[in-house]
Every structure is written in C-alpha cells, then in structure tokens.
Structure 1
Amino acid sequence: MRSITLLATLATSALSIVLPQSSEDVQLPLVIWHGLGDDFQREGLASVAELAEATNPGTYVHLIHLVDDGSGDRSATFFGNVTQQIEIVCEQLAADPILSTAPAINALGFSQGGQFLRGYIERCNTPPVHNLVTFGSQHNGISEFESCKYNDWICNGAEALLRSGRWTNFAQSRVVPAQYFRDPRELDQYLAYSNFLADINNEREEKNETYKKNLASLNKFAMFMFEEDTVAVPKESALFAEVNATTGEVTHLQDREIYQADWLGLKQLDKAGRLDFKTTPGQHMHLSEEVLQDAFKEYFAPLENKWHMSGLVVQHDA
C-alpha cells in the first residue's frame, strides 16, 4: 500500500510541474525512444534523461519500453511487428497520468526510435507531440544491415533473416530492421511488401491524409545526421534523403517527390520554417553531452508566456 501512495504522490507532484498554474512558462514532458540493440534500463539512456532534466528543470521524462525488463526490451528492437509495437506505445503514452494530461509532449528518437516516434505521431498522436527531434534515424530506410558482434546471437539472427528473405511475410512481420529496409534498387518489392516504412512514408498510391495532417501539426521537426555514420546506411536517410547505391549520388529531400507532392506535410513544415536539417560530428550514436544539451535548450525548453494552450494542442499566438 505504501508504494501505491508514493506513486500517487509523485504523480501529483509531477503534474504540478508540467501543467501551468498561471501564465508563466510551461515545461512539457519528454518521451524518449531508444534505438536498435539498446534498452530502456541502460545507464546511457538514464544519463540522457538526467541531462534533459538538468538542462530544463521540471522536465518529466518517460523512457518508452515495449517490455518491462531490459533484456526483453532489447530483444524487441530486433524481433517484433513494428505496427503492433507502435500500437503498444500509443496505449502506453495515452495511459500515463502525466503525459495524458499535459497540453502536449516533446519527443526524442535515437536511431530507429526516431522513425518509430514519427509513426506514433502519424498514427495516433495522443498525447500530441509539440517538437520531434531525431538523431541518426532512418527516415528513408536502410539499404544495408549493420554488422553484428560475433557473440551477439540476437543481432546475428536478425541479420541472417534480413539478408536471406527481407520481403517475406515472416521478415516483414517479425524482423524489426526489415520493416524499414528500403533499397531503391528493390523499390517494387518494397512498395508491395513493406510492413511499416512504405506506409508511414505515404509512398503507396493511396495516401493517408491523417498522416500528413498529424506530422504537419508539429511545431518543430529537427533531424540530426551523424557526419561519420557507417552504421546506418545510407547515413543521409537521417535527413530524409535518398542515395543511389551504385553511383553514391544523393537526392536531397527537397528534390524528391515525397516533398514536392507533399505526401507527408514535410514541405508544409519546411516552408513555415519548422523543419530543421542538422549534422553532428562522429559515428552513429556517438553523442557528446554538449550536442545533446544544445538540442535540449533549442527544442525542449519551457514554452514562454507568448504561447497559450488550446485543448491538447500547443498553438502560437497570431
């Protein structure tokens, strides 16, 4: 009984921080979705959460997890149905007493967690995301799978399935990286069989207008690419660019049909100055505290009193 009382006390305290008591600044909660091979109980992720709280005091941080233990959560980054996983996260965030009663939330995605958070925004977005920041995420998919350590059997199992039968129903429903595999040389197979990425990128003939509406509702969408990234191939996918695997030619987002026809609202965001393209030094997910802190200050700082709350959506005064 004591633990239940304690949880209730903590929730009440956190809500008093998140929700405005007057016209003063408002600190939105932050949700974080980690990447492939990571889990929500890792020390590094706890350090990121602590840095977010230290940079913007009063920040309530929620670490997204698909299983309640670290080992299971890590395994779920390799094996599972991404569509079902996003449904779980939609229910998880909507059920959180703090997130669900906040006027909006901020979101931070590391590697594959970035495109999964984008999927959350497009498919449910309750509670709604104010600012989305992604680091090294594969928004335009991967054309290769990363090499695994010799004794990492979970990773090696996923890699073998991806290489041998990425377009099979088994891989597209159970192997996580296969569900955001996108090689321009196999575009027909991708459009026909992709379980996840072809859908949330609105690349099929029938477009989902809700996806476009939800993504365009973001106040800011910031994408960071690691300049020396050799793990997420192509690295330019982090900025929604496409790379010709034969020539290495890069087609930037603004020159692609997904932007020009505005299938996802990215052009709308860009024209309004709400789409940011960023680079950061180093290899995939090698992040300095300084880079993270700068991002937290720029995108997750308290909303000043020039903002007002309208229902669950944070809007800017005209």
Structure 2
Amino acid sequence: MRSMTLLATLATNALAVALPWQSATDAASGTQLPLVIWHGLGDDFEREGLTEVAKLAESTNPGTYVHLIRLAKDGSGDRSATFFGNVTEQIAQVCEQLAADPILSTAPAINALGFSQGGQFLRGYIERCNSPPVHNLVTFGSQHNGISAFESCAIDNWFCRGAEELLRSGRWTSFAQSRVVPAQYFRDPEELDAYLEHSNFLADINNERVVKNETYKKNLASLNRFAMFMFEDDTVAVPKQSAFFSEVNSTTGEVTPLHERPIYNEDWLGLKQLDEQGKLHFNTSPGQHMHLSAKTLRKAFTQYFAPLEESRLSRPGLVVQRGL
C-alpha cells in the first residue's frame, strides 16, 4: 500500500517511463514482450523508485518497453488518484490508455506487474477488458482478498489521513465506495453482507455475488502465468495473506487458504483452472510491505518476463517462456 522501498541502490537519474521495445529477430533470443507496471497507494509514475524498477526490467531483459500506468498528467495528480477516485472508472481509463499506446496495442501480448493495490487493479484490467492481452501477471503484496484494516497515517500525510478517516467512519456509504480508493477493496468477513451489497470494486472482480461474470473467469484463465508474492513480515496490508486470496478471521486470526474457499473450489475466477495447469504460483518475499531488493525483482523478471522462445504469440494458445 505504501510507496516501495528498494533495498539495493539502482543507479539512475532519468525520469523516463518508457524504454525501447523491439521484437527480437534472433531466433535464440525470442520475442520480448512489453511490460506494464501499476504502482501502489501513495506512489506515482514520476517517482525515482519506479524509474529504477523500469531500468532494472530493461537491464534484466534487454529490449523491454516499460509503460508506467498513470491516472493524471503529473505525479501529484497521479498520487492523489491512488487515494481518491472511482476504481471502476480508473480501470476503464487504463483500458483506454493501454489500447491507445501504439507499441502496447500492436505487441502480440504484454506482461503486467502490480505493486500492492496496483496488483488487484491490473487483475481488474484483465478481467474487464484485457486488450492488449496480458501474458504473465505478477503481483507483489496485493490485496486480492481485500483489507480488513487500514494503516495509520503519518500526521503530515493529508491524502492518507483523509482516506483513513472516511474508511473508518463510513466505508459502506455510496460516497466512500465511489470516491475513496481503499474503501473499494475493503473486505472484513465479519461485515460480509454489507460488503456484498455495497462494494463498488472488489466484490465484483472477485465474482462473489450470486450472478457470476463468465467473461471475468475466461479472461483470467487465459493467463500463461499468474504469480503472487506475499511479504513475509507485512504489517501494512492487513491481512498479509490477502496476497494469496486467503481469508483471515479478524477475531480469531484463523486463516482459510485459497484452496479451501468457494472462490477456488467453485472456480468463480478460473484460479482453480490455472492452478491445475501449473500456472498459478505462490511466492514469498522477505521483509515488510513493498521493501523490495533488486535481487528479488531481478529474479522475478528473469522467471516471468523473459523473452518468449517463439517469435509469435497467437491468441488463444500458449507460448512456453524460458524457465517456466
């Protein structure tokens, strides 16, 4: 939820958010897909940390075109949009943004990387539009099963404090569910009825209501890989197990893993289908929420965003990626 912390120094002074993408012509190197990144709460596309991540992605897999999702023309507006806005409208905006990009829209597919809340938002993109289609989705510390508590904010962080107060005092109001971003993925099992009735975003993309959206399931099941990372010492995203779609009883602390939940066993989203095909990966990352090292990121980039062995990617159909 908070801005990421890179534990290793990645030298860069540039603020570029897009790096050259090219389809490799050497059969040995294969096709390098573009990479789309959606940052988390309190971050913005102009942050040096995100530029460092883009540089690392390119150095790990040369030729990677990196697009940092933005919801405003400048960093300040983009950061504000992580706290206040309608997530459904924001995802629709991103659908238009990616479809209009001349490189992303003409690539055979794209890879996607979501940091914290950006992970469940990218999943919403896949389920709702997925054009251009996502090949591999990787999420770090994302709240796929929502949050049941909101972090305390620094005194001088007015964006965060405003969102925190609205979330605590009226999370199920129409105002909060259409304007306060974290409220739209708040999910306390003890308030499940209110959640199912009023949730603007999460209850929909998790297909938890009686009428299921088969397009959501079809789109998510089309992924080549869906890799989720949970931070081992996470106390910011509560519960941390939400990163794996697990449910945690807020009173007893009892954890119900994904494989024991109806969302998996009744396959509301295609997660069971992905899992049975070996395409659903559960990974852990050491440390606190969004405390990421270059080593961890480089390993993920190598495993999930390496060049495709085939020079063409057809839809539907799978292309084997090196190391998977």
Return the TM-score normalized by structure 2. 0.91
Aligned match for 1:155, one of 154, 157, 160: 160
Quote the offset at 1:313 in angstroms: 5.1
Q: Within the alignment, does 1:315 sit opposite 2:290 as a pair?
A: no
Separation in 1 of the partners of 2:26 and 2:214?
Answer: 36
Q: 8 Å contact 2:113–2:119 — kept in the other structure?
A: yes
Decide whether aligned partners of structure 1 residues 123 and 88 sit closer, same or farther in structure 2, where only a CA change above 3 A counts.
same
Give CA deviations for 1:201-253 in whole Å, capped at 9, x if unaligned: 00000000000000000000000000000000000000110001111110000
Q: 8 Å contact 2:31–2:312 — kept in the other structure?
A: no
Question: What corresponds to 2:244 in structure 1?
Answer: 239
RMSD over aligned CA atoms reads 1.5
Question: What corresponds to 1:84 in structure 2?
Answer: 89
Question: What corresponds to 1:60 in structure 2?
Answer: 65
Give CA deviations for 1:80-103 in whole Å, capped at 9, x if unaligned: 000000000000000000000000
Question: What corresponds to 1:121 in structure 2?
Answer: 126
Decide whether aligned partners of structure 1 residues 314 and 293 sit closer, same or farther in structure 2, where only a CA change above 3 A counts.
farther
Question: What corresponds to 2:107 in structure 1?
Answer: 102
Quote the offset at 1:42 in angstroms: 0.2
Quote the offset at 1:146 in angstroms: 1.0
Separation in 2 of the partners of 1:303 and 1:40?
Answer: 27
Separation in 1 of the partners of 2:134 and 2:38?
Answer: 13
Decide whether aligned partners of structure 1 residues 60 and 314 sit closer, same or farther in structure 2, where only a CA change above 3 A counts.
farther
Question: What corresponds to 2:6 in structure 1?
Answer: none
Secondary structure of the structure 2 residue equivalent to 1:315: coil
Separation in 2 of the partners of 1:87 and 1:281?
Answer: 34
Q: 8 Å contact 1:14–1:98 — kept in the other structure?
A: no
Separation in 2 of the partners of 1:228 and 1:217?
Answer: 32
- Matched length: 302
Aligned match for 1:207, one of 209, 212, 225: 212
Separation in 2 of the partners of 1:316 and 1:115?
Answer: 24
Quote the offset at 1:308 in angstroms: 3.9
Identical counterparts, % of pairs: 75
Separation in 2 of the partners of 1:199 and 1:173?
Answer: 14
Question: What corresponds to 2:14 in structure 1?
Answer: none
Quote the offset at 1:314 in angstroms: 5.6
Give CA deviations for 1:108-160 in whole Å, capped at 9, x if unaligned: 00000000000000000000000000000000000001111101111100000
Secondary structure of the structure 2 residue equivalent to 1:132: strand
Question: What corresponds to 1:6 in structure 2?
Answer: none
Q: 8 Å contact 1:130–1:314 — kept in the other structure?
A: no
Q: Which amino acid letter does the alignment assign opposite residue 155 of structure 1?
A: C
Question: What corresponds to 1:28 in structure 2?
Answer: 33
Aligned match for 1:136, one of 132, 136, 141: 141
Quote the offset at 1:270 in angstroms: 0.2
Q: 8 Å contact 1:103–1:314 — kept in the other structure?
A: no
Q: Which amino acid letter does the alignment assign opposite residue 166 of structure 2?
A: L
Q: 8 Å contact 2:309–2:319 — kept in the other structure?
A: no
Choose between structure 1 and 2: higher helix proportion.
1
Question: What corresponds to 1:296 in structure 2?
Answer: 301
Q: 8 Å contact 1:109–1:135 — kept in the other structure?
A: yes
Quote the offset at 1:23 in angstroms: 4.7
Quote the offset at 1:315 in angstroms: 2.1
Separation in 2 of the partners of 1:43 and 1:228?
Answer: 25
- Runs of 5+ unmatched residues, structure 2: 1-17
Quote the offset at 1:68 in angstroms: 1.1
Q: 8 Å contact 2:308–2:319 — kept in the other structure?
A: no
Separation in 1 of the partners of 2:75 and 2:162?
Answer: 19
Quote the offset at 1:21 in angstroms: 4.2
Q: 8 Å contact 1:104–1:314 — kept in the other structure?
A: no
TM superposition outliers: structure 1 runs of 4+ over 3 Å: 20-24
Give CA deviations for 1:265-317 in whole Å, capped at 9, x if unaligned: 00000000000001111000000110000000000000013x7422x556238
Q: Which amino acid letter does the alignment assign opposite residue 131 of structure 2?
A: T
Secondary structure of the structure 1 residue equivalent to 2:77: helix
Secondary structure of the structure 2 residue equivalent to 1:316: coil
Q: Which amino acid letter does the alignment assign opposite residue 123 of structure 1?
A: R
